[in-house]
Structure 1
Amino acid sequence: MDSKHSLTDSLNKISNLQNYNSWIYENIKKGISGRVLEIGCGIGNITDFILKDSQEVCASDIDDSYLKYACKKYKGNKKVKVTKIDIIKPGNKIAKGKYDTAVMLNVLEHIKDEKKAVVNVKNALVKNGKFVILVPAMKSIYGEMDKALGHYKRYNKTELKELLEKNGFKILDIFYLNFAGIIGWYFSGRILKKSCIPDNQAKFFDRYILSFTKPCERLIKPPAGQSIVAIAQKV
């Protein structure tokens, strides 16, 4: 299975994980406001949540099939503009200093020139604008699913913090998320050599594991996690 098919399969499965999607948004919500540029909107799994806390959303992606789906989904919604944008070479499609917030969830790991991507995000933001980013964490669990999904890497907090700070941002908050997810990702990707998220595993996690994980991580941020969330501000 190529990276496009694996990614599409994963996005479709995640679209049905309402508990997971709402949990992700719960952890990034404080960084969302005003005019929002969503980089890598996919099929809109998080876009629906962003709309509730924003003035308007530019939902962008580089994949034509995702954009077609998003155009159909948000047809008639005046708060959403669906646009094809490549953050590495945005051209004239992304106005400088326009957006109050930029959101990039599970996208940076697909980009080889991560520095250029971060700089272009910074240029799209107003002064003191916020950058909300989520990336896969724990280099030790990099496996077949990462390769199939087209991930160049997984991050640690220090690495992500330095990338943002060296390219025009200050960190407002940064933390690991989803400690329990480490086990499932390692087992499926490293042990079973799966190329995509097993459907039964995803549903079990959404229905049962999250009911325990969510309250625990609200109380205490874990020392490690499947993902890292950072909320940064343009300086």
Structure 2
Amino acid sequence: MAEITGDQRVQSEVLEGLATAVNHRRWFVELAVPHLGDDPIEIGSGLGDYALEWARHVPRFTATEADPDRLILLKERLVDEPTIEVREMLLPHPGGGDYSAAVSYNVLEHIEDHVGALRSMKDLVRPGGAVIIIVPAFQFAMGPADIATGHVRRYTKKTLGDAMTSAGLRVETMHYANALGLIGYFMATKVFRLMPKEGPMVKVYDTLVLPATKAAEQLVRPPFGQSVFAVARVPG
């Protein structure tokens, strides 16, 4: 089995900081909602911010976490959510399932055997269901912040598509998201060597820049972005 690598403390600090980027999270929540079905599972729920948002749109939701310490915090946070089940899961995972979809945001880049991880997600989903992925884009943006948070790669549409196809999935839709975010991330983390944590820079971007970026990208898909968003189907 592949283990999630990197400094868990730094990862937790970044998760806590990015939790304040409310507009960014709502945008990425909206991307997945049409594909979730009635009983999705999230791989790598972190602090549960996305799980809480998605659970409002479905009858049942399963949140998972591989890190034991974060799993405890996740269970504590979601204990009063009757429609959310919390379970431990590390990919690749040997078991199967009958979920309507598997959704995983900013997790695949941590896993050495990403094809095996995608294959595990496929096995968790019923035929015709979706595997919904967001990963960081473009290897040239790989820098100290990526390494500190355990990233082993960044993706293009082609490399993510190839991994999904190798895992036995049929790619349905794929596009870059948050074009201006890639420029900002590159400048902040590679030029100024900052970590993407809570602070004035994140708040200004999330409040002023991101809404305009989202509106523009709903009209025209950009040729690059901070993230790759993809939906693939389980054959059947």
Length-normalised TM-score, structure 2: 0.93
Task: Report the alpha carbon displacement of residue 31 of structure 1 after superposing the two structures with TM.
Answer: 1.4
Q: For residue 76 of structure 1, report the CA deviation from its aligned partner.
A: 3.1
Separation in 1, partners of 2:189, 2:21: 20
Pairwise mapping of residues 183-194 of structure 1 onto structure 2 (< 5 A)? 183-194=183-194
Q: Which deviations, in whole Å up to 9, do the C-alpha atoms of 1:115-156 show, x marking residues without a partner?
A: 110111111111111000000001111111111111001000
Q: Distance in 2 between matches of 1:128 and 1:233?
A: 6
Tell me the secondary structure at the aligned position of residue 129 of structure 2: strand
Residue 72 of structure 2 aligns with an amino acid whose one-letter code is K
Q: Per-residue deviation at 1:196?
A: 3.9
- Aligned match of 2:200: 200
**Alignment partner of 1:46 is 2:50:** yes
Give the superposition deviation at 1:216. 0.4
* AA aligned opposite 1:201: M
The yes-or-no answer on 1:210 pairing with 2:210 is yes
Identical columns (%): 26
Q: Distance in 2 between matches of 1:25 and 1:85?
A: 21
Q: Which residue number in structure 2 is paired with residue 107 of structure 1?
A: 107
Q: Is the 8 A contact 2:8 2:149 kept in 1?
A: yes
Question: CA offset at residue 198 of structure 1?
Answer: 5.9
1:72 Cα offset (Å) = 1.6
Does 1:65 find its partner at 2:69? yes
Does residue 32 of the first structure (1) align with residue 50 of the second (2)?
no
> For the residues of structure 2 that align with 1:76 and 1:22, how far apart are their CA atoms?
22
Q: Which amino acid aligns with 1:40?
A: G
What is the alpha-carbon distance in structure 1 between the residues aligned to residue 102 and residue 180 of structure 2? Answer: 28
Give secondary structure in 1 for the equivalent of 2:153.
coil
Name stretches of at least 5 consecutive residues in structure 2 with no aligned partner: 1-5
- Contact 1:33/1:55 (8 A) holds in 2: no
Which residue number corresponds to residue 136 of structure 2? 136
> Which residue of structure 2 lines up, in the alignment, with residue 165 of structure 1?
165
Could you tell me which amino acid in structure 2 is paired with residue 45 of structure 1? D
Letter in 2 for 1:211: P
The farther-off stretch of 192-201 and 29-38 is 192-201
Code of the aligned partner of 2:24: Y
Paired letter, 1:44? G
Match of residue 177 from structure 2? 177
The 8 Å contact of residues 3 and 149 in structure 1, kept in 2 or not, is answered as yes
Match of 2:80 in 1: 76
> How many aligned residue pairs are there?
230
RMSD between superposed Cα atoms in Å: 1.4
Q: Judge conservation of contact 2:18–2:196 (CA < 8 Å) in 1.
A: no
Structure 2 Cα separation of the partners of residues 47 and 198 of structure 1: 20
Q: For 1:229 and 1:65, locate their aligned partners in 2 and report how far apart those are by CA, in whole Å.
A: 28
Normalising to structure 1: TM-score of the pair? 0.93
**1:33 alignment partner, SS class:** coil
Measured after TM superposition, the shift of residue 197 of structure 1 is: 3.5
Paired residue for 1:147? 147
- Shift in CA distance, 227/140, structure 1 to aligned 2, threshold 3 Å: same
C-alpha separation between the residues in 2 aligned to 1:231 and 1:75?
A: 30
Deviates more, 1:121-130 or 1:105-114: 121-130
Return the alpha-carbon distance in structure 2 between the equivalents of residues 174 and 165 of structure 1: 13
- Give the whole-Å Cα distance in 2 for the aligned partners of 1:200 and 1:77: 32
SS in 2 for 1:46: helix
Q: Which residue of 1 aligns with 2:3?
A: none
